[in-house]
């Protein structure tokens, strides 16, 4: 990555950080002038806005993101997070081949470095890989300062490009979907678009496969981006159930269209109909 590009992105990120601190002198001034309720209201408004933009995965307050595919056709996208996994990835690849489904695997850099042959196998089977950070700090990613956040995304990109130089990731997904004020800016500087989802079953935290599948089925429609995980106790069972669901849905399940990487943000972020 060009050093000038990195420096420019980090300058912009730290400028945004400084802007978030701008209300602090006003809060202090209000307290000094014995207006504690006004100070509290301003503080809570700013804090609530920051928390919503950070912890609500599909909230685009801090930057553009892809929430679903453009509904011009009959396509859906299956995305699979947290791999590669030495047992789960080969089994899931076989399931996808059996059901004639192509997917986008959001890979963790450290896992990819440990199992580079699985990354190559994903590509060889006609799927796409995406950037899911180097270390997958799910609990703290939203707290990272710009320099550390850059390193998480850039290191993963470098890891994956080193393994498959002809297939660089085009999309980025933050761990657990939690992102902060700087995430979209830094991802864009690295040539990535941030992608979320529109249909998930919470298989990362729950283990009841029928319930997980039903949740996905309720939101399965043209343009849906489906999320499932590797490295969970029910990863294979969920993959079996969801791939069967996708095959029986009559919807086309392929890798993202080429236009999506630099497509119409207004279309790409349009929320799914209920």
Per-residue pLDDT averaged across 203-231, rounded?
97
Note whether 12 and 185 are within 8 A (CB): yes
State how far the alpha carbon of 165 is from the alpha carbons of 60, 84, 129, 158, 235, in Å. Answer: 31, 17, 12, 9, 28
The catalytic position among 33, 81, 136, 208 is: 81
Mean pLDDT along residues 92-105:
98
- Tell me the whole-structure pTM to 2 decimals: 0.90
Q: What is the mean pLDDT of residues 59-67?
A: 92
Reply yes or no on whether the pLDDT at 272 is more than 80.
no
Catalytic residue among 82, 179, 229, 254: 229
Pick the CATH number of 1-256+265-274 from 3.10.450.710, 3.20.20.370, 1.20.1740.10, 3.40.50.300: 3.20.20.370
* Average pLDDT along the chain: 92
Q: Is 265 noted as a catalytic residue in this protein?
A: no
Check if 203 is active-site. no
**Structural domain boundaries of the chain?**
1-256+265-274
């Amino acid at each position: 990555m060009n050093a000038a590009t990195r420096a420019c992105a980090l300058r912009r990120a730290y400028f945004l950080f400084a802007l978030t601190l701008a209300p602090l002198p006003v809060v202090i001034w209000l307290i000094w002038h014995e207006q504690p309720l006004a100070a509290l209201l301003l503080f809570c408004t700013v804090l609530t806005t920051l928390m919503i933009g950070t912890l609500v995965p599909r909230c685009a307050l801090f930057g553009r993101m892809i929430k679903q595919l453009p509904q011009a056709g009959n396509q859906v996208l299956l995305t699979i997070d947290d791999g590669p996994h030495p047992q789960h990835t080969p089994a899931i690849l076989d399931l996808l081949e059996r059901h004639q489904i192509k997917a986008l695997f959001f890979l963790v850099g450290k896992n990819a470095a440990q199992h580079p042959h699985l990354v190559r196998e994903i590509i060889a089977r006609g799927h796409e890989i995406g950037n899911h950070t180097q270390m997958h700090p799910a609990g703290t990613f939203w707290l990272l300062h710009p320099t550390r956040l850059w390193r998480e995304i850039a290191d993963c990109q470098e890891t994956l490009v080193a393994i498959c130089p002809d297939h660089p990731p085009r999309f980025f997904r933050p761990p657990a979907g939690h992102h902060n004020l700087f995430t979209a800016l830094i991802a864009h500087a690295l040539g990535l678009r941030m992608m979320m989802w529109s249909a998930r079953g919470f298989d990362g935290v729950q283990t009841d496969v029928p319930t997980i599948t039903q949740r996905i089925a309720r939101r399965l429609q043209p343009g849906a981006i489906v999320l499932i995980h590797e490295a969970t106790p029910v990863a294979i069972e969920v993959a079996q159930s969801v791939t069967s669901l996708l095959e029986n849905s009559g919807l086309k399940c392929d890798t993202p269209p080429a236009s999506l990487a630099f497509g119409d943000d207004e279309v790409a972020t349009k929320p799914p109909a209920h």
